[in-house]
Chain A
Amino acid sequence: MSGSARSERLLDALSRLSPQQAALRLLVLLGAAGFLLAEGAAGASFSGWWLVAVAVVAVAAAVLPDSFAPLALVLLLGGHWAFELRDELGGWLLVATGCLLVAHVASALASYGPTSVVLDAGLLRLWAVRGAVAAAAAVPVWALSRVGAAFDLPSGGPVLAVALLVLLGWAVVLGRHAVTRS
């Protein structure tokens, strides 16, 4: 398919956007914006080109939620946090985590079907519960990290141990299920 035909098809699909899908795509943008605000409040600074790049990727993620643009957005935001902030364990970290999760969940929901699909309320409620569970999982890790930082444990040992455990467990899960069964 040529580039012009592809863009024509994309515009055609966007013209049939249902209000619900439009709201979900707006949530992707709001999630990214919320993350940047939380990051700024936590002390990060932004260059102009960086903000432009994030804006472009965020718009791409909102327009094409079923592509790898949302992955690029998550990696860009997470990477910027890693470079700009050092051991930031304040409340803004939880806000940023929530915003990142909102962007991810909204992208996932926006990719459930064509642009005109309307998801039923039951499914949206289910995803609200899932989002809450996922967000809640971050709180103990955050609390543990805060405790570790408060006691000034050497080189973040407990957190490192938890991270290693999570990483190992996650690697095992992915390794067992990585091959797609048909």
Chain B
Amino acid sequence: MNHPWRPTPALVRAGLASMAGAVAAVLLGRPDLLVLAVPLAVCAAGAVLTRPARPPRAATDLVHPSVREGEGTLVRARLTGAEDVEHAVVALTRHRFLAYRPAGGVHGVTVPGGAPTVTWDVPVGSLHWGRRLVGDGLVSALTPWAGYRWGPVEVLAQSLLTLPTPGRFDARSPAPHPIGLVGTHPARRQGEGGELATIRPFAPGDRLRRVQWRVSLRTGTLHVTSTLAEEDSSILLVVDAVVDLGVGRGIHGSASSLDVAVRAAGAVAEHYLRQGDRVGLRVLGTARHGVLPMGAGTRHLRKLLDTLAQVTPGADRLVDLTRLRFGLAPGTVAIVLSPMLSEEAIGATLSLASGGVTVVVVDTVPEDLDLGDDDPALHLAWRMRLLEREDLLRQVEAAGIPVVRWRGPGTLDEVLRGLGRRAAAPRMVRR
């Protein structure tokens, strides 16, 4: 739409008042009124003589289409055909979880005389993961002497993807069932690696540098040191987006259960992908962007964070447990990140465990849960819900699935160590 330049109240004021003063001075023979009117006449003349010829065009875009939580980018406002413009202002619409500088999102710029295009930037920070619209608002421009105004004209929003900032995470325990070819986790089979498996008699094909001379001399037969092979593992992250508990207030405020789950998933994925493992993602309760197959590498990490950033809480509550298929390879470790408050999450967890997959549940209910309201009835309801949750967690633990609360680095250490010992222990089999 072509928006015209319009005279401002300042021009109308200067024009009318100076005209009235001059007319009164002439009709009444009052030179003092003419003196009063002259400065306003100069202002009006300045504005009229710099009258604009054609209207400009405005648009905004984003310098970076995706950022991490807490990071910022620039909303770039652009005015083309700005030869007649002296000053332009953009006023960006304020949205939740976005912080502008200046805080109001209003930024003006004085245009150098005759410049055909002018661009100016408004820094914007994103305080919460997810996809949101940025850069919509109003742009207006003024000619010299504040004579004519163009706009305010609406500018369209751009989509900004905010990737979750992974929480701090570190695991010193190896994955219990490494199954790949190369990696960092000690496998159950012997092969090239760093961890001692046993000392055994020499066999054809053994390398000479593996000979254990001390044992060979003592026993009189040649012995070699054998090591455990090192393999990678597959980790499936299951994020429960069916229920979101609490109020998320951005990266500097309280976190909801889904915030904890998403940031924890990002942290675990980053940790294992940097080790060279394969990581997949399944989001429960999201029909779209809910499945990311196993993959490795930094590009896969980026894809995974992209998928996590698009999680919408409770978007699709109808998770059909009978049709839920994970299709996991043996040895995969499934880490379920959930507040364990929905039948869907419990069902999916038990379904994974019954498929022979090692499952660990990470409880994502925040320690300082913000219910967002001081209503006593709400707190009573929450306590009742916690009692129900304890019952559900008992069901999960009865199925042999460990449940740990998310606490950042070391969350999974003890559990994975225990699962590794359990995998290596002798077991009774039916013959």
Contact = CB atoms under 8 A, between A and B. Distances in A.
Our verdict on whether A and B bind, yes or no, reads: yes
Nearest to B107: A117
B146 A166 contact: no
A87 B32 contact: yes
Interface in A95-150: 96-97, 100-101, 104-105, 107-109, 111-114, 116-120, 122-123, 126, 130, 133-135, 137-138, 141-142, 144-145, 148-149
B20 interface: yes
A174 interface: yes
A88 B32 contact: yes
A85 B31 CA distance: 12
Contact of A141 (B26, B31, B87, B107): B31
A75 B4 contact: no
B48 interface: yes
Contact of B145 (A130, A135, A149, A180): A130
Interface in B74-106: 86-87, 89, 91, 102-104, 106
B94 to A, nearest CB: 10
Contacts of A138: 35-36, 38-39
A16 B148 CA distance: 25
Interface residues of A, number: 67
A145 B44 CA distance: 22
Contacts of B415: none
B402 interface: no
A113 B13 contact: no
Interface in B296-324: none
Contact of B17 (A78, A122, A162, A167): A78
B266 to A, nearest CB: 36
Given A116-B106, A137-B38, A85 B17 contact: no
B248 interface: no
A89 B31 contact: yes
A70 B13 contact: yes
Interface of B: 2, 4-10, 12-26, 28-46, 48-49, 51-55, 86-87, 89, 91, 102-104, 106-110, 140, 142, 145-146, 148
Given A68-B13, A117-B89, 6 more contacts: A94-B35, A104-B17, A120-B108, A133-B42, A137-B38, A156-B30
Interface of A: 16, 66-68, 70-71, 74-75, 78, 81-82, 85, 87-89, 93-94, 96-97, 100-101, 104-105, 107-109, 111-114, 116-120, 122-123, 126, 130, 133-135, 137-138, 141-142, 144-145, 148-149, 155-156, 159-160, 162-164, 166-167, 170-171, 173-174, 177, 180-182
Q: Which 4 A-B pairs have the closest CB atoms?
A: A182-B4, A145-B31, A116-B104, A113-B89
